[in-house]
Amino acid sequence: MVDSKDYSIQPIKGTEADSKIVLLTIDDAPDQNALEMAKILKKMNAPAVFFVNVHFLSSDESKKVLKNIHEMGFAIGNHTMTHKNLK
């Protein structure tokens, strides 16, 4: 779960969570290496979240890549429309 105070990732309370678990996130999908990363992670049976920048979805090919990643079972997240600096 995400701690609402500092946005750190914490084990879910009341579970036998393994302290050595990591959350894999891939930013800037479906940029050039996203599909290759998805194939490697799938082969390694490693779940991950692919965060998408909408400006990378301008071509039919990039939309196909994202659909492919989704169909491989990966979660998809929003990484802004334009990758604007949010500071």
- Site residues, Zn ion (CB under 5 A): 27-28
Q: Where are the alpha helices (DSSP H) in 6-86?
A: 34-43, 60-71
Estimate the crossing angle of helix 34-43 against helix 60-71, to 10 degrees: 10
CB of 49 to Zn ion, least distance (A): 13
Q: For residues 35 and 79, which CB has a smaller minimum distance to Zn ion in the complex?
A: 79
CB of 52 to Zn ion, least distance (A): 10
CB of 53 to Zn ion, least distance (A): 7
